[in-house]
Structure 1
Amino acid sequence: MCGRFAMDDTVNELITEFVESTGLSPEDWRADWKPSYNIRPTDPVPILLETLTDRRDPTSETVRRAELAQWWLTPSFSKELRSRNPLFNARSETVTEKASFREPVKRQRAIIPAIGYYETHTEGSTKVPYFIHPPEGLLLFAGLYSWWADPTLAPDNPLRWHLTTTILTREAVGDVAWIHDRTPVTIPRDQLETWVDPATLGDRAFVEAMVDAATPVAESLQFHRIASPIRGDSVEMIQPV
């Protein structure tokens, strides 16, 4: 599971590189976000995605975008923005089967960058928190996104549409499996474009191949114990104790 994670301003470098590669400037995407060391479900997070110019034609040109999304995916068929079911994580093993995820996984895949995430390990009767991070650089979480239209607002109301996202998880491998049996799917940098490409149909074989490609990153993750409980929003949160 991934229920809390952290982003610092180094994420901006990746976002800028992503959008500028298609001739866009940072001003061309919504930059109204701020770094946080305590991102929680339903918080707004920047995601990287690629869309088809004609969504009905997989061969049409694509456009790269960076957008803010609610970290709690809301399927288009939902009657409310935040359902009671926790949809901030999606199991990679069943993502092509579950009603909430099987449409987004086909062509609405995204990258959610992070410097690391939090997990707790039960030791006796105590839950001990850890910060999990790569040896260097950023983690690229495999994500899905979905647009939800508020049925109470008029079609021409700009507040009607909400962009939402979720993080894929997998069985934990490597040293972090000692902390928890699940971990985010961490896409390697050279597979970023493959994951977000909407021209590629996201079927079960594709998801499984991307999870396999992400295994070396998952196996390289490092961790250290941090102060308990996890609260506040400062760089001190991720410091080892």
Structure 2
Amino acid sequence: MCGRFAMDETVDELITEFVIVTGEQPENWTPDWRNSFNIKPTQHVATVFESARDGAAPVRRLEGARWSLLPSWAREEKLKYPTFNARSETAASKPTFKSSVVSKRAIIPARGYFEWKTVGKTKTPFFVRDPDHSLAFAGLYSWWRASPDDDWMLTATILTRQAEGPLAEIHDRTPVTLPAHMRDVWLDATVSGDQQLVDAAVDTSRQVELDLYEVAPIGRDADGPELIEPVKPLF
């Protein structure tokens, strides 16, 4: 599961790696998201994806997306079930996500994410990260609008898989985090995605070595780099 995560300047560097290939962003372009150490569902997050129109070559794009996917057929913005995460085991068959698996795959960059370990009634927050690199979450996106008179809104979700090793001691789910060699494959708009592609992403995500450490309790509206500071020295 991934219900809170962090973006900061190191994530901006990762974003540059994605978009510098095409150079599509205008010189004075202003992103429609903000760096934050406490990002929550329905807030805007940086989202990288490829799209092609009228047979043209795919173009890599970087936009802000509402973190909670809304399928194009949804009648209302508020669904009866959460869609900020999508289970990798069923995403290719679930009506909410299956068309996005086919042709609307994305990457959501992050510094790391928070997870809570529950023992009895006590919940202890941990921060999960790659100490050397920013993370690239495998995601899905969809364009949605309430009516034909409204503007289209970009929405996105983060794929999750079964947690393993030390992560499983905190929570049974973890985001699908892509290693560098899988990122272009996942984004490739010329590839029709299916469960086999999702499974390949899950398999390669096991190559990304993550560590975790306990952090202080996190207020709902708290923000700042202190949120990802360990409560005790790591070494």
Report the TM-score, using the length of structure 1 for normalisation: 0.91
Percent identical: 50
Q: Distance in 2 between matches of 1:29 and 1:94?
A: 37
Match for 1:196: what amino acid? L
- The answer to whether residue 233 in structure 2 is matched with residue 240 in structure 1 is no
Q: Distance in 1 between matches of 2:106 and 2:80?
A: 23
Q: Distance in 2 between matches of 1:194 and 1:14?
A: 17
Once the two structures are superposed, the pairs formed by residues 1-241 of structure 1 within 5 Å of their partners are 1-25=1-25, 27=27, 30-54=30-54, 60-151=56-147, 154=149, 160-217=151-208, 220-231=209-220, 232-241=222-231
Q: Distance in 2 between matches of 1:4 and 1:131?
A: 10
Q: Distance in 2 between matches of 1:170 and 1:206?
A: 14
Match for 2:139: what amino acid? G
Match for 2:199: what amino acid? E
Conserved in 2, the CA contact under 8 Å of 1:145 and 1:163? yes
Conserved in 1, the CA contact under 8 Å of 2:32 and 2:44? no
Conserved in 1, the CA contact under 8 Å of 2:218 and 2:227? no
Please give the per-residue CA displacement for 1:88-138, whole angstroms capped at 9, x wherever unaligned. Answer: 000000001110000011010000000100010112321111111112111
From the superposition, tell whether residues 108 and 233 of structure 1 become closer, same or farther in structure 2 (CA, over 3 Å).
Answer: same
Conserved in 2, the CA contact under 8 Å of 1:29 and 1:66? no
Q: Distance in 2 between matches of 1:94 and 1:113?
A: 23
Q: What's the secondary structure of 1:27's corresponding residue?
A: coil
Please report how far the alpha carbon of residue 28 of structure 1 lies from its aligned counterpart in structure 2 after TM superposition: 7.3
Q: Distance in 2 between matches of 1:103 and 1:131?
A: 32
Unaligned runs of 5+ in 1: none
Q: Distance in 1 between matches of 2:30 and 2:91?
A: 29
User: May I ask how many residue pairs the two structures share in their alignment?
Assistant: 230
Report the aligned-residue RMSD: 1.5
Please give the per-residue CA displacement for 1:24-81, whole angstroms capped at 9, x wherever unaligned. Answer: 3463755132210000000000101011133xx5xx4110000000000000000012
Please report how far the alpha carbon of residue 84 of structure 1 lies from its aligned counterpart in structure 2 after TM superposition: 2.5
From the superposition, tell whether residues 230 and 79 of structure 1 become closer, same or farther in structure 2 (CA, over 3 Å).
Answer: same
From the superposition, tell whether residues 175 and 39 of structure 1 become closer, same or farther in structure 2 (CA, over 3 Å).
Answer: same
Q: Distance in 2 between matches of 1:61 and 1:137?
A: 30
From the superposition, tell whether residues 234 and 170 of structure 1 become closer, same or farther in structure 2 (CA, over 3 Å).
Answer: same
Please report how far the alpha carbon of residue 13 of structure 1 lies from its aligned counterpart in structure 2 after TM superposition: 1.6
Match for 1:182: what amino acid? R
